[in-house]
Amino acid sequence: MDSLTALTIEKLYGSGDREPAVAPVRVDLNQAQVLALAAAAGQKPPADLRAETAMDFAVSVARGLSHAPRRLDCRFLYDARGSEIFERICEQPEYYLTRTEGAILAAAAGDIARRTGPVTLVELGSGSGIKTQIVLEAYSARHGPVRYTPVDISKSILELAEQEITAKMPHVKVEALHGTYEDAFPLLASYSPCLLLFLGSTVGNLDSSEADRFWEAIAAGLMPGDFCLLGVDINEDPDALHAAYNDGAGYSAAFTRNLFERMNRELGASLNTPSIEHVAAYNPEWRRVEIFARFTSTQSIDISQLGRSFRVGKGEQILTEVSRKFRLNHMVPYLATFGLAAQQIYSDEEKRFAVLLLRRV
Ligand code: AVI
């Protein structure tokens, strides 16, 4: 862990150092147990772990709107349309995360492949997988044929990634899993020896309690000696952060608004979505960007599946997402508490983003 030994460790996240919780993570224990048993029995995991239903969305929206203050689960931002808009966000000049992480990976992928040796690559929240292609190329250049399992809640984006990778890289065997992260955790052991990729600072969309549960599950799923490659946003420049989440072309706003358009499409709501504003601001106290939907007129959110209706007042803001930003001198000891030891840290010159190679001890 050469580059880190000189860093002062400030303090770990303690119970008094917690930002307000966002939205509960759904863990379907029964299904997890079934999948774990299937994996233990050596069965091939099903490609379709969970088809998300409109009822899942309805229940989540009703729960979030019943909460004070109101909040929505950011997982539902990623329907086919939302995933497409997110891909556009990643291309915007203001959104430095994707570009910076891509450049770090391009420089580091060979070293990462050398350090881990030949492993199966499993990626959580793979998206279109473009950055992953850099890593896959490095693995096949060093170790020959590669096995790659992307896991994503968006079926459309998963299919696209699968088609693209298979067409471009015939030496990569893609076995996509459609489902949530929680669905995939019990299967991790069946991929060992593996490198689990969790890129794009997606970990920043979990609040600290969710992150604790997430890392506990990862630590339980990985076998000793397995690796994890984690991408984290370490930028604290408020102007850069503001720009990244309020791009000039309006994709960030379209992304937030799409959550409400999805309610119209799937829940039978009849919201006037153009009047819903996107508000994204950096909260330095909690080192996170907070994203809200602000209602500029009073409207009702009708959820036909549940026969329920929620009135949202003019000027009311509903939290749709948080995006936490990290300090390495917090993050590294925090991950170590889950048995994930930092082997190497790769960063850009401006220290805006970091990629951590972790090893399950
Ligand atoms: C997926 N995730 C890391 C993005 C982020 O930066 O937190 C989601 C996003 N939301 C708005 N812009 C980007």
Encode pLDDT of 59-97 as tens digits. 999 999 999 999 999 999 989 899 899 999 999 999 999
- Residue 309: phi and psi, rounded to 5, are -140, 135
Q: Report pLDDT for 88.
A: 96
Q: Report pLDDT for 262.
A: 98
Of the candidates 170, 176, 107, which has an alpha carbon nearest to the alpha carbon of residue 144? 170
How many whole angstroms from 141 Cα to the centroid of ligand 1?
31
For atom 4 of ligand 1, the residue with the nearest CA is 202
Q: Which amino acid is at 279?
A: V
| Neighbour count for residue 140 (Cβ, 10 Å) | 17
Q: Report pLDDT for 155.
A: 82
Both structure tokens of 22: 């966002």
Of the candidates 300, 308, 281, which has an alpha carbon nearest to the alpha carbon of residue 292? 281
Q: Which of 289, 321, 325 to mutate to test the pocket of ligand 1 (most atoms within 8 A of CB)?
A: 321
How many whole angstroms from 38 Cα to the centroid of ligand 1?
33
Q: Report pLDDT for 9.
A: 24
Q: Which amino acid is at 319?
A: L
Q: Average pLDDT for residues 2-18, to the nearest whole number?
A: 32
Both structure tokens of 149: 């399992």
Of the candidates 286, 275, 350, which has an alpha carbon nearest to the alpha carbon of residue 314? 275
Percent of the chain topping pLDDT 90: 77
How many whole angstroms from 245 Cα to the centroid of ligand 1?
8
Ligand 1: nearest atom to the Cα of 256: 11
Q: Are 165 and 148 in contact (CB under 8 A)?
A: yes
Please give all residues whose beta carbon lies within 6 A of any atom in ligand 1, as ranges: 89, 97, 200-202, 204-205, 245, 252, 255, 321, 323
Q: What confidence tens digit (pLDDT) does each residue in 44-62 have? A: 443 566 667 899 999 999 9
How many whole angstroms from 324 Cα to the centroid of ligand 1?
10
For atom 3 of ligand 1, the residue with the nearest CA is 202
Q: Report pLDDT for 24.
A: 31
Q: Are 323 and 233 in contact (CB under 8 A)?
A: yes
Q: Are 131 and 102 in contact (CB under 8 A)?
A: yes
- Higher pLDDT residue, 129 or 125? 125
> Which residue's structure tokens are 């473009």?
130
Q: Report pLDDT for 4.
A: 32
Determine which of 110-114, 148-152, 160-164, 357-361 has the lowest per-residue pLDDT on average. Answer: 160-164
Q: Report pLDDT for 221.
A: 97
Ligand 1: nearest atom to the Cα of 244: 12
**What's this model's pTM, rounded to 2 decimal places?**
0.88
β-pairing, 194-198 with 120-124?
Answer: parallel
Q: Which of 83, 86, 128 to mutate to test the pocket of ligand 1 (most atoms within 8 A of CB)?
A: 86
Tell me: pLDDT of 30 over 50. Answer: no
Q: What confidence tens digit (pLDDT) does each residue in 320-332 have? A: 999 999 999 999 9
For atom 7 of ligand 1, the residue with the nearest CA is 323
Structural domains of the chain in order of their starting residue, each with its CATH number: 23-50+92-237+326-360 (3.40.50.150)
